[in-house]
C-alpha cells in the first residue's frame, strides 16, 4: 500500500457508480450490487474498486466498526498503541477474503469493533462522541505512518482495493454479507495512481461516498474543511465530499436539500431569475458556504444509516440514472446496470443537475430531505 507515488500523466476519467437500497430496511445479499457494477466494467481500468454495506453487523450494531489497512505488522502495532489509550477494542479479526488471482499486493486488512474509553471521553468533554471518532480517524490517517481507516461507522463497513470492482467484491466475499444499502464503485483514476487507500468509497462515521468525475475545486475545499478539523490525507478528490457531508449535515445541521445546494449551487443568472425570497436564500447559501462549492463534472452517490443520496453537478456533465420497484431504490451510472438486477422497474428516470435523488429508510421525512443523522441505526 503506497500513498506517495503519483503519475505525471493524466488519464481521461471513466468511473462507474451503483447503489441499491431497501427503504423498508430489509437486508439482502451483496451479490446483486457486484453484478450491477460488473455490468459497467468498461468504465473502469482495474486500478480501483470498492463497496459499502449497511446493516451488515447487526450483532455488533452498537460498536464502531473500524475497517483498516496497514502497510506492515509494525504499522499495525503502532496504530494499536496509538488507539489503545483512546478506545477499547471489544472484538477484532482479519477481514475475511478469498483468493482471487487478479488481486495482488494487498495490505494487511483487519477490522476492529470498538468503543471510546470513558477516560478519553472525559478528557474531551467538550466534544461529542462522533467528534471524537472524527478526530481519531483524522489523526490515524494523517499521523500514523502506514495505517489507514477505510470506514468508522456503526453496523456498516467499506471494502475496497486495487482491481476491477467485481473482483474486489469476490475477494472480500461480499456475497456472504447481507445489508439494507449497498453502494459500489469502479475506478478510472484521474490525477493519482491507483492504490488501496485511494479506491472508493471514502467514509467517515457512517457516511460513504462514491464519485464519478473530477472535483477541480479540491484545493479550496480541502482548505475550507481544514478550518473545521478535517484533514485530507489521501490525495484523492472524492475524500472532500465525504467530509463535506459530515460537516454540513451532522455538524451544521443543514437539511439535505440545503447541503446539496451549498455543494452544487444555482448559477448566478439562475438566482437572478428566482422569486425574491428564494433568490435571497440562494445568495446567502452561496455567500456563507462558498468554500463548500464543488466545482467540476461529477455524479455522486452518498450512503449513510438513514438512506442514500445521488446528485450531479448543475450542468450534469456526468451520467446518473435511477429506478424504483416497490420499496427498492436503484441509482447507477447506466440504466443497463440497474436492469441487470431489476428487470422490470416501476419507474426509471435520470437525475436533474443539482437536484438530489433521495432514498430514506423507515419513512424518514423524505419530502423535506431531512435524513436521519449518522449514528442512528436500522434493523
Residue found under cell 437572478: 272
Neighbouring-strand partners of residue 16: 186
Closest CA to 333 of 374, 298, 358, 363: 298
The number of CA neighbours under 13 Å toward the Cβ of 168 is: 30
- The residues that are catalytic are 15
Gyration radius from the chain CA atoms: 19
Closest CA to 158 of 247, 82, 69: 69
Q: Under DSSP, is residue 20 helix (H, G, I), strand (E, B) or coil?
A: strand
CA–CA distance, 22 with 342 (Å, rounded to integer): 13
CA–CA distance, 376 with 343 (Å, rounded to integer): 32
Q: What is the DSSP letter of 357?
A: E
Amino acid at each position: 500500500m503506497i500513498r506517495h507515488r503519483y503519475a505525471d500523466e493524466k488519464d481521461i476519467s471513466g468511473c462507474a457508480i451503483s447503489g441499491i437500497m431497501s427503504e423498508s430496511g430489509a437486508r439482502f445479499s451483496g451479490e446483486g450490487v457486484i453484478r450491477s457494477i460488473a455490468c459497467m466494467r468498461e468504465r473502469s481500468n482495474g486500478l480501483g474498486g470498492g463497496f459499502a454495506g449497511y446493516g451488515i453487523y447487526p450483532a455488533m450494531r452498537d460498536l464502531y466498526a473500524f475497517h483498516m489497512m496497514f502497510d506492515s505488522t509494525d504499522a499495525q502495532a503502532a496504530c494499536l498503541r496509538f488507539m489503545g489509550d483512546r478506545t477499547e477494542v471489544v472484538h477484532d479479526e482479519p477481514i475475511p477474503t478469498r483468493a482471487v488471482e487478479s488481486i495482488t499486493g494487498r495490505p494487511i486488512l483487519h477490522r476492529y469493533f470498538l468503543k471510546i474509553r470513558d477516560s478519553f471521553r472525559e478528557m474531551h468533554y467538550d466534544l461529542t462522541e462522533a467528534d471524537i471518532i472524527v478526530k481519531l480517524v483524522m489523526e490515524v490517517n494523517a499521523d500514523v505512518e502506514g495505517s489507514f481507516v477505510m470506514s468508522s461507522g456503526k453496523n456498516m463497513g467499506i471494502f475496497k482495493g486495487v482491481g476491477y470492482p467485481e473482483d474486489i467484491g469476490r475477494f472480500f466475499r461480499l456475497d456472504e454479507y447481507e445489508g439494507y444499502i449497498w453502494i459500489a464503485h469502479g475506478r478510472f483514476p484521474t490525477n493519482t495512481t491507483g492504490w488501496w487507500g485511494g479506491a472508493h468509497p471514502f467514509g467517515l462515521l457512517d457516511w460513504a461516498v462514491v464519485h464519478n468525475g473530477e472535483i477541480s475545486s479540491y484545493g479550496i475545499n480541502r482548505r475550507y474543511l481544514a478550518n473545521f478539523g478535517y484533514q485530507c490525507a489521501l490525495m484523492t478528490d472524492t475524500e472532500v465530499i465525504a467530509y463535506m457531508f459530515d460537516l454540513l449535515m451532522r455538524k451544521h445541521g443543514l437539511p439535505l436539500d440545503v447541503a446539496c445546494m451549498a455543494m452544487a449551487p444555482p448559477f448566478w443568472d439562475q438566482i437572478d431569475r428566482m422569486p425574491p425570497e428564494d433568490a435571497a436564500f440562494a445568495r446567502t447559501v452561496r455567500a456563507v458556504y462558498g468554500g463548500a462549492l464543488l466545482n467540476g463534472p461529477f455524479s455522486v452517490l452518498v450512503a449513510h444509516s438513514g438512506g442514500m443520496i445521488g446528485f450531479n453537478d448543475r450542468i450534469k456533465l456526468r451520467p446518473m440514472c435511477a429506478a424504483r420497484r416497490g420499496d427498492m431504490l436503484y441509482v447507477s451510472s447506466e440504466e443497463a446496470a440497474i436492469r441487470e438486477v431489476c428487470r422490470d422497474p416501476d419507474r426509471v428516470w435520470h437525475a436533474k443537475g443539482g437536484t438530489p435523488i433521495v432514498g430514506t429508510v423507515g419513512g424518514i421525512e423524505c419530502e423535506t430531505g431531512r435524513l436521519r443523522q449518522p449514528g442512528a441505526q436500522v434493523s
